[in-house]
Amino acid sequence: DVAGDADALLALEPADGDQNNGAVQQTNNELTVDLTSPGSQGAEGINPNANTTFNPAINVTNQGTNQIDLSVGISINSGDLTSNNIKLNATGGDTAVSGDITQTTVTLNSGETVELALILDLTSDSGNQINTLGNTDVTITFTANDSSP
């Protein structure tokens, strides 16, 4: 769930930009990824056995007054995906971090934002080739720990 309170310490929002194509949406205090709605080109879904990137997909902003270390966890609740199929890469914003942030932390000062790309790797390179995605339920958990000096 995403708190509806504008004063929350950590803001999670769908990123602006055409690369998102409206796939990441915020409704009922949740960020959701809907790949069934046609995008700007009239296509829907993602290609099987392909690597698909939504960049940027999610903006995470530190709205608190202290510096934080942001970590991200991914849980697969149902469907054929594994954690090898889903990556969140820090690609922009106020912080310079590269790579899959589920493997590290991102430090954000007060007011700083990190843009995250959502990468769905359905190729055999992931170790779990997927030919049909189906209905998949994934939970992404964002944790902010105070790292003030």
Q: Looking at per-residue confidence, does 112 or 40 come out higher?
A: 112
pLDDT in tens, 96-115: 555 666 777 888 999 999 98
The neighbouring-strand residues paired with 70 are 106, 144
CA distance 50 to 107: 31
Using a 10 angstrom Cβ sphere, with 0-12 exposed, 13-18 middle and 19 or more buried, the burial of residue 28 is exposed
Look at the chain and count its residues: 149
Give CA separation, 5 vs 1, 2, 64, in Å: 12, 9, 13
pLDDT in tens, 54-105: 888 899 999 999 999 998 888 888 877 887 888 888 877 766 555 666 777 8
Query: pTM of the entire structure?
Result: 0.81
